[in-house]
């Protein structure tokens, strides 16, 4: 089945990695994949634009069906391969509610993280303000404390990474950039997550060797 | 069943409306609801913060289960009440793929819309730049053309609003703010959507009387 799937991806992109982890979790190894270069603007190539008018990665195709948003791919794969591999959506009513809630809240985390890490990228030189970057950092700190608090209320255990985090809560991998002293529960979670077979199997060798943002985040 | 549900909501908030429409679609009328005032900062009241640490609306409770993100509520309701009311997620493989993809792409639309409408709200006076607002408007125009293109490729028909748009693609309602001449397919879609029973039933009487952004968007 995986042989009819093609993933175009770029290194250093958490959404691409999310899809790769989901494919591993659903036992869909052996899909066609092609690593493209953001630096060479290959995400704006005709090959990508023909499948993805936004010119973004991941770009994913299954037979004739195209799904490009990384979360959309997770939902799609889960629904199409319900009984295969690991469940990405838990069965229990309460567990489902938490998983959906945290998944969409994770988007807010990403927004706040990117507003700090990529400030110079998003904001042209003449429009940058120290006050804005300071505010963005404060917002990210507040956000991280919220997540640290969520994890203090629940057991951080191996089983938890099984269903509710493998692909949807991938963002917590970003906490490797942060101080484990200030965010011990997130650190604990990260340590469990990085040992997951799907995460290990999809960890690109050249990924995160020079992680963007480590310096920017050191005082968060 | 709806009697064990409580929705705290605010007028003028598309996410709140999304939840109300989803509840209508799933035949969950009769839930407890309370209209709070953003102007009076009631979304930061203890009543809300006890259920929603972000102090945002909607805040939604079903029995002891709390789900606050509007998309998370839609997924939650659909999964808990699969056979009740209308399906929010279509059965077909291709239809599902499109629905998931468009749903998450819709978040990008919202980001770009808000970056124009709420520019003065998000950006403190000393940090505002005409060049930034101009860029945001151009990005929104590009985004809208993309969606207009999507709709040109598919039949805009009543059935389509049944499953794939009732709550997830609600954003298209925002096109009432736009020129129907420049975006005819979006306008056509809006006209169908606003006739949906769930949309009509949940349209608050004081909603959109003075829509924010009409002036800002007139040249988009």
- Determine, for residues B53 and A80 on separate chains, whether the beta-carbon distance falls below 8 Å: no
Domain-embedded: residue A171: yes
> What is residue A197's predicted lDDT score, i.e. its pLDDT?
87
To the nearest 10°, report the CA torsion of A177, A95, A102, B6. Answer: -150
> Tell me, what's the pLDDT at A175?
56
In a domain, A219, yes or no: no
In DSSP terms, A8 is beta-bridged to A34, A59
Report the pLDDT value the prediction gives residue B1, as an integer from 0 to 100. Answer: 76
> Which among B127, B126, B66 has a CA at the least distance from the CA of A101?
B66
B111 and B164, same structural domain?
yes
Strands A65-67 and B5-10 come out as unpaired
**In this structure, is residue A155 part of a structural domain?**
yes
Q: pLDDT by residue (tens digit) across B127-140?
A: 999 999 999 999 99
Of A93, A126, A127, the CB nearest to B80: A93
Tokens 């799609």 belong to A76
| More confident position, B65 or A217 | B65
pLDDT band at A73 (very low <50, low <70, confident <90, very high): very high
Query: Residue A71 maps to which CATH number?
Result: 3.40.30.10
**Residue A7 shares a structural domain with residue A50:** yes
Percent of chain B surpassing pLDDT 90:
47
Residue B194 clears pLDDT 90, i.e. is over it: no
Same domain, A102 and A148: yes
Do A138 and A39 lie in one domain? The reply is no
B198 vs B181: which has the higher pLDDT: B198
Residues ≥6 apart with Cβ < 8 Å to A102: A150, A164, A168, A169
Q: Please, what's the largest Cα pairwise distance for chain A? A: 53
User: B28, B44, B14: which is closest to B76 by C-alpha?
Assistant: B28
Q: Are residues A71 and A99 in the same domain?
A: no
Q: Cβ B100–A53 below 8 Å, yes or no?
A: no
Q: Which residue has the higher pLDDT, B110 or B66?
A: B66
Name the band, by pLDDT with cuts 50, 70 and 90, for residue A166.
Answer: very low
Count of domains in chain B? 2
B122 Cβ under 8 Å from any chain A Cβ? no
Looking at residues A79-90, what average pLDDT do you find?
Answer: 90
H-state helical runs in B6-155: 14-25, 46-49, 70-80, 93-117, 119-122, 130-153
Helix (H) or strand (E) holding B61: strand B59-62
The reply to whether residue A76 touches residue B96, judged by beta carbons under 8 angstroms, is yes
B16, part of any domain = yes
Can you tell me the distance from the alpha carbon of B45 to that of B40, in angstroms, rounded to the nearest whole number?
10
- Would residue B12 count as lying in a domain? yes
Cβ within 8 Å, pair B72-A103: yes
In angstroms, what is the C-alpha Rg of chain A? 18
- Per-residue pLDDT tens digits for A116-162: 988 999 999 999 999 999 999 999 999 999 988 888 876 555 555 54
Q: Which residues from A are below 8 Å from B79, CB to CB?
A: 96
Distance, in Å, from the CA atom of A130 to the CA atom of A132, rounded to the nearest integer, reads 5
- pLDDT tier, B89 (very low <50, low <70, confident <90, very high otherwise): confident
Assess whether A195 and A114 both reside in one domain.
yes
Q: Provide the residue count of chain A.
A: 220
Write the pLDDT tens digit of every residue in B162-171.
445 545 555 5
d(CA A79, CA A175): 29
Query: Would B218 be classed as within a structural domain?
Result: no
Question: Helix or strand or coil: residue B104?
Answer: helix
Over 70: is that where the pLDDT of A164 sits? Answer: no
B139 and B190: one domain?
Answer: yes
Q: What pLDDT is attached to residue B166?
A: 46
How far, CA to CA in Å, does A209 sit from each of A173, A189, B199, B203? Answer: 14, 21, 50, 52
3-state helix, strand, coil in chain B (%, to 5): 55, 10, 40
Mean pLDDT in residue range B211-216: 62
Per the model's pLDDT, the better-predicted residue between A208 and B204 turns out to be: B204
Query: Does residue A207 lie within any of the structural domains?
Result: no
**Domain co-membership, A98 together with A135:** yes
Domain that residue A188 falls in: 93-202
> Does residue A215 lie in a domain region?
no
B125 has pLDDT over 70: yes
Same domain for B174 and B103, yes or no, is yes
Of A80, A105, A131, the residue that ends a domain is: A80
ipTM reported for the complex, 2 dp: 0.91
* Mean per-residue pLDDT, A3-19: 91
Say which DSSP state A137 is in: H
Residue A109 shares a structural domain with residue A74:
no
Q: Is the pLDDT of residue B208 over 70?
A: no
The answer on A62 and A138 residing in a single domain is no
Name the residue in chain B with its Cα closest to that of A54: B146
Task: Tell me which DSSP letter residue A125 carries.
Answer: G
Contact residues for A176 (Cβ-Cβ < 8 A; gap 6+): A190, A194, A208, A211
Question: Is 50 exceeded by the pLDDT of residue A212?
Answer: yes
What's the gap in Å between the CA of B197 and the closest CA on chain A? Answer: 27
What value does the mean pLDDT take over residues A41-58? 97
For the CA atoms of B220, B134, A109, B16, the dihedral, rounded to the nearest 10 degrees, stands at -30
The CATH number covering residue B174 comes to 1.20.1050.10
- Same domain (yes/no): B76, B105: no
Task: Pick the more confident residue, A110 or A40.
Answer: A40
Strand partners, B6: B32, B61
Between B50 and A199, name the one with better pLDDT: B50
């Amino acid at each position: 089945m995986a042989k009819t799937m093609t993933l175009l991806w770029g290194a250093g992109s958490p959404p691409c990695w999310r899809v790769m982890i989901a494919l591993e979790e659903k036992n869909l190894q052996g899909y066609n994949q092609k690593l493209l270069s953001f630096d060479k603007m290959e995400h704006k190539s005709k090959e990508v634009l023909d499948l993805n008018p936004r010119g973004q990665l991941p770009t994913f195709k299954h037979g004739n069906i195209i799904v490009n948003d990384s979360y959309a791919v997770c939902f799609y794969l889960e629904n199409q391969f319900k009984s295969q591999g690991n469940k990405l959506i838990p069965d229990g009513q309460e567990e489902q509610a938490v998983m959906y809630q945290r998944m969409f809240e994770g988007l807010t985390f990403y927004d706040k993280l990117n507003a700090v890490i990529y400030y110079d990228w998003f904001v042209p030189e003449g429009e940058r303000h120290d006050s804005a970057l300071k505010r963005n950092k404060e917002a990210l700190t507040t956000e991280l404390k919220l997540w640290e608090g969520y994890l203090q209320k629940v057991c951080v255990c191996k089983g938890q990474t099984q269903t509710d985090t493998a692909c949807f809560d991938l963002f917590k991998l970003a906490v490797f950039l942060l101080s484990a002293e200030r965010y011990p529960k997130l650190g604990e979670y990260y340590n469990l997550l990085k040992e997951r077979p799907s995460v290990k199997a999809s960890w690109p060798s050249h990924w995160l060797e020079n992680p963007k943002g480590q310096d920017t985040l050191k005082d968060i």
